[in-house]
Structure 1
Amino acid sequence: MTDSTTGATVSAPDDPGYSAWRTAAAAVLAKGRRIDPADLPAGPEELLQATTYDGAEVAPLYTAADERAEQPLPGSFPYVRGGDATRDVTVGWLVDARFGGADDDNDPAAEPAALNERILDALANGVSAVTLAMGPGEIAPGDLPAVLRGVHLDLAPVALDAGAAAVDAARALFALLDDAPAERPDAVRASLGATPLSDLFASGDESTGADALAVLAADAHARSGAIRAVTVDGTAFHNRGASDAQELGAAIAAGVEHVRDLTTRGLTTAAALGQIEFRLAATDDQFASIAKFRAARRLWARVAQVLGAPEAGAAPQHAVTSAAMLSRRDPWVNMLRTTLATFGAGVGGADKITVLPFDAALPVGALGTSETFAGRIARNTQLLLLEESHLGQVLDPAGGSWYVESLTDDLARIAWADFQRIEADGGFRACVASGALGGRIDALAARREADIARRATAVTGVNEFPNLDEPVPAAGEPRLAEVRRYSAPFEALRDRSDAHLASHGARPRAVLVALGPLSEHNVRTSFASNLLASGGIASESTGTVTADSLTDALASLGDAAPAVAVVCGTDARYADEAPAAAAALRAAGAGKVLLAGPEKAWPQGAGERPDGFLTMKIDAVETLAGLLDALGVK
């Protein structure tokens, strides 16, 4: 049947398929909780719901009851399915590569001829769009003709990233277009990359004044082709720790402020809207990224509609894989993260994607790989998805998915509320100046960091499944130092362990005291070993012991008095043997005695309690820092 208000198809309440699933889910939930199914809430499936940091509810199962009305085709307002009705599905999105900046593995001050050679090589090997880092210590505006020699600007779009040098860089690009006109001037696509409001948030300084930006935008509007002067860089908010909705709300607010500036200085509303593009972060949460880019188009289309120019509401989207999600530990995993992010952005309809090198968070050359290796992997990540997985050959492939459409709606609604809150605070500049915008982002980032510290949110290779045997990265100035990276707190613990290894020849070590046979203690010894390794602490097991054999077992490890010992076993085994094992450890001179398990697993009134309990709910960063202190790690 159909909902008369929304037009969505709704499953009947007595749908036998859904009822059967609910019954089966209730049985599993009841078994896990060791209760009768009748004691579960009326809607047991609600216990399986997840809530995003933005407050959107993610159901465990989506059905026809969640169906939304079909969105208009690409190129039609509100552009949820894409802004381009004639997008070439044999090409897909544009594969972007960045050249000349400090995050370029190659020398940013390379000779223009050498840089040009690299750009032409990249274009011949799958790159279809070029971003140039320009300014002091990077590409000089006067070198632009040499850097872009042989690059057909009507075939390969060029974006400038010049910060405070945006006006000079743009003038140099205009001069190049005038001196060496493209064969098809109307096909030229370029981004002048002025990001003053994003820079205001990131550094407290507008890199380009509003008057100069308006002149630049007017000149760009008057030229042939599609040249946009203004980039709203949402990654500035993401790198501070913003959620998806916060990033979108702040980006939309900045875009609106730019439109106000430009129209106040003489541009029409449609011309002002036509001068803005968005750069947004794509993360390894693929469904969230898909919904994010779809929701962003809807939001900006709504702004254009309110301003009276809905036909000008399809702003280009440039996706950049998240810098915040990149880890310095086990950095090879970043290849997988960027692949998922690229998938999400591509399926979500981004027009252009930049994949950050997998080693972008490390000092240049820290892994001993060649200068071009990381860039080639970043490029081939996109080419594999385009050429082998054929993701670009279908427009909006996630359209119609009950989950994706629901998440898109929720994200757009929450982000619009964030945008309205910024407007109510006086607009983007006022909200930045007061600290309100940064404060809200910082508060959410603290929540995420707490979840990562408790390992409720996993960072593979860092707080879960760490590899203590991986080579210590070479020293040097780390990149992405200004980014609030998710893995940084655990990596700081690992740095302490590395320093201890360098000065003592061994990592700090804890002893795992295993009670009962392997089948009993394996779950908790594995848990404890994994937890300790995430803080750089190696572990060594006694093998199955009793209180009577513990002293000999410790001696066989060469450590009769361990600084940190963790008792591991089952709750039933703890009731019989844990107090005696803890007493034996203390008698042997152990510094800290911990129990792998919850506090309730310790038998009541049974001798001196352990110094702590290791569970999935502890703040692992705080706990591990304390253990490093106990182990004498400075």
Structure 2
Amino acid sequence: MKNLLEDFQPVSKAEWLAKMEKDLKGKPLSDLQWHISETVSTPPFYHPEDMSRPAPPLLKGRSSNEWAIGEYINVKAPEDAHTALMEGLNGGVEAPLFRLYQPIGEADIALLLSGVAPEMVALNFGEYYTNKAPEALFHTFANWLNKQKAPLKNIAGSIDFDPLLDWSEPPIQTLAQLMRNCIEKMPLFRPLQVNAKTFHGGPEQVVDELAMTLAKGNAYLNALEAEGINSQAANAHLQFGLAISKSYFVEIAKLRAFRLLWANILKGHGSIGQPFITAHFAHESQDDKVNTNIIRASTQAMSAVIGGIDRLYVLPSNHVTGEPDQPFGRRIARNVQHLLKMESHLHRVADPGAGSFLIEKLTAQLAEQAWARFQELDQQQAFGF
């Protein structure tokens, strides 16, 4: 078969620049720079000469870009939450996140998870009330698992336990004991989350967002090492909750940069590995046009997936109106992820953003600046215990 590209002569960067300067009729090319922040900007075009060699794809130690389809389940009445859960599971949800608005007991857990095979789905819990007690929640869940004779080594999931976020005196000993239990009995369960959603401020603050997330995660590794848990084990039971907003290319590059940076943090602790990232939509000021928000959900989900997240939560399109979630809205939110897998096949390519000059350059730029900022925060012990 004839190679059609042979009919076209390569064009140098200098030739492209000359052509653009002519078309701009004296207007400086620098006026077309995309200024993301005071320190981060991108040129209006890229050329192969800008990259001495292609950056290697970020494989994360795996051969695909598989992610788990998540869904929020609001638990105000266990019966209603169970109905929503079964609807979601039948619709393809793989990682429900139970948002608890009051403490629950073992009877509530039994009602909530009735008919669920816990080894077949990742079960995640977040406490959205005062006087949080993650240790009690974990033991309630573990007791239910034991009564179900569930294979604990196959139980995946998490607890949104971020000691530096919710406690004036971070209960690091409680966290360490939870992590020891998981290391011994539940190797796929993650009892610690670095909740970085509070650091999200849009593309203008993306460098600080990355640096603060790194600093907080590193502080946890240091604290857990002091409790006798090495960084390799801690990372296996840790997840990062990151917010995703509308700046499509910035969000892709942010996630890719974070994966590089966290691997560097682990290297500094004498370990190897990658971060486990859950992506959540940022609570932005959006209008109440449901169809517009469906489009926003699609592009935000796509940027998260191309960036390489491990679990994704897509908000129903009426979320910002304050109305209760409806089955149709939850179904459409789930189907956004199904389309990205079943029609776009983004789970089959290990690093979909690899090879894009814009994304590669922006990834490198964010990583370099965020690392410098992290070093400043680390010296200041911004998240010390």
TM-superposed deviation, 1:69: 4.6
TM-superposed deviation, 1:56: 1.8
Q: Relative to 1, partners in 2 of residues 1:413 and 1:54: Cα closer, same or farther, differing over 3 Å?
A: farther
Q: Relative to 1, partners in 2 of residues 1:177 and 1:207: Cα closer, same or farther, differing over 3 Å?
A: farther
Given that residues 194 and 216 in structure 2 are in contact (C-alpha distance below 8 angstroms), is that contact kept between their aligned partners in structure 1?
A: yes
2:372 to 417, 424, 431: 417
Q: Which has the higher contact order (CA 8 A, sep 6+)?
A: 2
Task: Give the structure-1-normalised TM-score.
Answer: 0.55
Q: Relative to 1, partners in 2 of residues 1:241 and 1:404: Cα closer, same or farther, differing over 3 Å?
A: closer
1:192 to 142, 159, 165: 159
Q: Relative to 1, partners in 2 of residues 1:333 and 1:429: Cα closer, same or farther, differing over 3 Å?
A: farther
Instruction: State the one-letter code of the partner of 1:383.
Output: H
Given that residues 132 and 139 in structure 1 are in contact (C-alpha distance below 8 angstroms), is that contact kept between their aligned partners in structure 2?
A: no
Given that residues 83 and 316 in structure 1 are in contact (C-alpha distance below 8 angstroms), is that contact kept between their aligned partners in structure 2?
A: no
Instruction: State the one-letter code of the partner of 1:268.
Output: N
Instruction: State the one-letter code of the partner of 2:270.
Output: G
Q: Relative to 1, partners in 2 of residues 1:260 and 1:214: Cα closer, same or farther, differing over 3 Å?
A: same
- Per the alignment, residue 346 of structure 2 pairs with 391
Counterparts of 1:331 and 1:140, CA distance in 2: 37
Query: SS of the counterpart of 2:241?
Result: strand
Instruction: State the one-letter code of the partner of 1:218.
Output: R
1:168 to 100, 111, 136: 136
Aligned residues: 373
Counterparts of 1:397 and 1:194, CA distance in 2: 31
Given that residues 82 and 349 in structure 1 are in contact (C-alpha distance below 8 angstroms), is that contact kept between their aligned partners in structure 2?
A: no
Task: Give the structure-2-normalised TM-score.
Answer: 0.88
Q: Does 1:120 align with 2:97?
A: no
TM-superposed deviation, 1:373: 2.6
Given that residues 105 and 140 in structure 2 are in contact (C-alpha distance below 8 angstroms), is that contact kept between their aligned partners in structure 1?
A: no
- Per the alignment, residue 20 of structure 1 pairs with 15
- Per the alignment, residue 278 of structure 2 pairs with 318
Query: SS of the counterpart of 2:283?
Result: coil
- Per the alignment, residue 273 of structure 1 pairs with 235
TM-superposed deviation, 1:134: 2.2
Instruction: State the one-letter code of the partner of 1:122.
Output: G
Counterparts of 1:344 and 1:241, CA distance in 2: 13
Given that residues 201 and 209 in structure 2 are in contact (C-alpha distance below 8 angstroms), is that contact kept between their aligned partners in structure 1?
A: no
Q: Relative to 1, partners in 2 of residues 1:299 and 1:86: Cα closer, same or farther, differing over 3 Å?
A: same
Q: Does 1:52 align with 2:36?
A: yes
TM-superposed deviation, 1:208: 5.2
Q: Does 1:219 align with 2:181?
A: yes
TM-superposed deviation, 1:397: 1.4
- Per the alignment, residue 99 of structure 1 pairs with 73
TM-superposed deviation, 1:411: 1.0
Counterparts of 2:136 and 2:50, CA distance in 1: 51
Counterparts of 1:265 and 1:377, CA distance in 2: 45
Query: SS of the counterpart of 2:280?
Result: strand
Q: Does 1:377 align with 2:362?
A: no
Given that residues 186 and 225 in structure 1 are in contact (C-alpha distance below 8 angstroms), is that contact kept between their aligned partners in structure 2?
A: yes
Counterparts of 2:45 and 2:155, CA distance in 1: 46
TM-superposed deviation, 1:244: 2.0
TM-superposed deviation, 1:371: 2.3
User: Moved runs in structure 1, 4+ residues, more than 4 A?
Assistant: 68-73, 138-142, 239-242
Counterparts of 2:281 and 2:186, CA distance in 1: 31
Q: Does 1:293 align with 2:255?
A: yes
> After superposition, what is the alpha-carbon deviation per residue over 1:343-382, rounded to whole angstroms, capped at 9, x for unaligned?
00111110110012222222225xxxx7223222211111
- Per the alignment, residue 6 of structure 2 pairs with none
- Per the alignment, residue 129 of structure 1 pairs with 95
Q: Relative to 1, partners in 2 of residues 1:374 and 1:335: Cα closer, same or farther, differing over 3 Å?
A: same
Q: Relative to 1, partners in 2 of residues 1:68 and 1:335: Cα closer, same or farther, differing over 3 Å?
A: farther
Flag the structure with larger Rg: 1
- Per the alignment, residue 355 of structure 1 pairs with 314
Counterparts of 2:258 and 2:120, CA distance in 1: 27
Given that residues 320 and 353 in structure 1 are in contact (C-alpha distance below 8 angstroms), is that contact kept between their aligned partners in structure 2?
A: yes
CA RMSD of superposed structures (Å): 2.5
Counterparts of 2:260 and 2:299, CA distance in 1: 23
Q: Relative to 1, partners in 2 of residues 1:272 and 1:318: Cα closer, same or farther, differing over 3 Å?
A: same
- Per the alignment, residue 121 of structure 2 pairs with 156
Runs of 5+ unmatched residues, structure 2: 1-9
TM-superposed deviation, 1:429: 4.5
Q: Relative to 1, partners in 2 of residues 1:255 and 1:129: Cα closer, same or farther, differing over 3 Å?
A: same
Q: Does 1:304 align with 2:266?
A: yes
Query: SS of the counterpart of 2:321?
Result: coil
- Per the alignment, residue 617 of structure 1 pairs with none
- Per the alignment, residue 246 of structure 1 pairs with 208
Given that residues 386 and 392 in structure 1 are in contact (C-alpha distance below 8 angstroms), is that contact kept between their aligned partners in structure 2?
A: yes
Counterparts of 2:180 and 2:150, CA distance in 1: 21
